[in-house]
Amino acid sequence: MLAGSAPSAADYLQGLFENYDAARAALTGSGGFAKKSKVAVVYMCFERQKIILAALAALFKSEGLRDFDVFISQDGGSNYRVELPDEASNFNLLYIRHPANLCPGQHHYFVKSFVFDIMRYEALIVVEEDNIVHPDAIQMLYGMLRLTANDPQIGLVAVTDMDNSLLIDESKHSNGVMRAEIHQGHLWVFGMHATRYQVVRQDLRDYFNVILGKNYIMKDQPPLRDEIAALHRIKGFAENTELSQDAFFVNSLEKAGYSRRMTTMVRLFEPVGWSGLHFQSDPAVFYGVYGRGMYEGRVTEPPVEVGATKESQESLKEDCLVRLNRLYRQYLGRSADEGAAKAAVWRLLNSKLNAVELMRNVLNSAEHQRRMKSFATRGGGRVGQRSASAP
């Protein structure tokens, strides 16, 4: 961390980005950090101690993490300082505690510029604060980065934020990855190549210049809202483009020709962000959309793209329909209708399926309520007594 009294976020960041060599010395010198890898893993956080400690404990159990350089980038504006566990000494790790409150927009720009401009890494893997990663998540993302290094479509790689374990064979597809639209899903645990950053570097800097020193939390209100929207028009983005830095990032990649992301088929993190940087909602609402679980097995093989051939699509379709019909028979007393079946398969093959939401809709449906009422009235057997999670 830079010495001296705490500057404003704008002064702090402008000072860093004026001279990358000086910034590298200032940020790494006092800790005696030496770059050893071509890949940087960055855990971004703020001040929620309980979540941060749990997330770091999980991250430090990651398979292959010792092969990479690890950074903890903690936003300023809080008195909380991360107490590193003993396991931290096992890794080539640098803890950066910023002296100013950057807020998410400026913080994300710092991470990308720090990794690629200041430290000159070849690849970046990001874990946001409120995600408890699976032991194989980092290794999986690294494998996906290698798999897509020269792919002209893929702008980034990500761990899916959706739990579709009800409708896919997780053990069969634990190392499966699929192409998705670049906009599809959050960037809670993701990776990118330096080559992609260089293509959108100026775009990201333009967005950074607009939000620099502004109250990013108020980006949905004027004047910042209008300034970001004006930049969207200059860049040729759609009129209704979201105002966040993530949205600007993926739209910039798309504009540069990277129309797809590569995403895992199974979720390799547990989301705990119902009251975090992205959401301020009731936990029941958050978990009603995203669920609580992650893949419970291990990923023992390198990533393999699935769904790219007719044969693999048919296999995915068959597994999905078997499971979907089993769920429908158990909770609605019938097989899935043609429309629901086609919709589920299409969403699965296009990485848009959310089985948690689908199941919630089934259980909240009038049809299910009538079925429950009928069972209660007749005193019949229990519905749902068999496991619905697997065939």
CA distance 67 to 116: 18
Confidence at residue 379, expressed as pLDDT on a 0 to 100 scale = 67
Which residues, 6 or more positions from 259, have their beta carbon under 8 angstroms from its beta carbon?
153, 155, 181, 182
For 71, other C-beta atoms within 10 Å of its C-beta total: 24
Q: What's the CA dihedral at 371, 374, 379, 381 to 10 degrees?
A: -20
DSSP states of 178-247 as a string? EEEETTSS--SEEEEEHHHHHHHHHHHHHHHHHHTTS-GGGTTSTTHHHHHHHHHHHHT--TT---SHHH
Confidence at residue 284, expressed as pLDDT on a 0 to 100 scale = 83
Ordered alpha helix ranges (H), the chain: 9-18, 20-28, 49-59, 103-113, 137-147, 194-211, 224-235, 245-255, 283-290, 310-332, 338-349, 355-364, 366-378
Confidence at residue 204, expressed as pLDDT on a 0 to 100 scale = 99
Confidence at residue 389, expressed as pLDDT on a 0 to 100 scale = 40
133 close to 268: Cβ distance less than 8 angstroms: yes
Confidence at residue 366, expressed as pLDDT on a 0 to 100 scale = 97
Q: Which helix (H) or strand (E) holds 153?
A: none
Report the predicted TM-score, pTM, of the whole model to 2 decimal places: 0.93
CA distance 268 to 76: 29
How is residue 276 written in tokens? 């975090």
**DSSP 8-class letter at 125:** E
CB half-sphere exposure, 359, CA atoms < 13 A: 22
Confidence at residue 66, expressed as pLDDT on a 0 to 100 scale = 98
Segment 318-338, tens digit of pLDDT: 999 999 999 999 999 999 999
Does residue 223 have a cis bond before it (omega within 30 degrees)?
A: yes
Distances (CA, A) of 248 to 113, 229, 260: 15, 11, 15
CA-wise closest residue to 60 among 137, 156, 122: 137
> Please, what are the domains in the chain?
9-290 (3.90.550.10), 307-378 (no CATH)
How is residue 131 written in tokens? 């995600």
Confidence at residue 346, expressed as pLDDT on a 0 to 100 scale = 96
Q: What is the CA radius of gyration of the chain?
A: 22
Distances (CA, A) of 246 to 185, 228, 372: 11, 13, 43
CA distance 102 to 248: 17
Confidence at residue 380, expressed as pLDDT on a 0 to 100 scale = 56
Can you list the residues of the chain whose pLDDT is less than 70?
Answer: 1-5, 31, 275-281, 379-391
Confidence at residue 288, expressed as pLDDT on a 0 to 100 scale = 86
Distances (CA, A) of 369 to 328, 329, 333, 364: 13, 14, 12, 7
Distance of CA 243 to the CA centre of its chain: 18
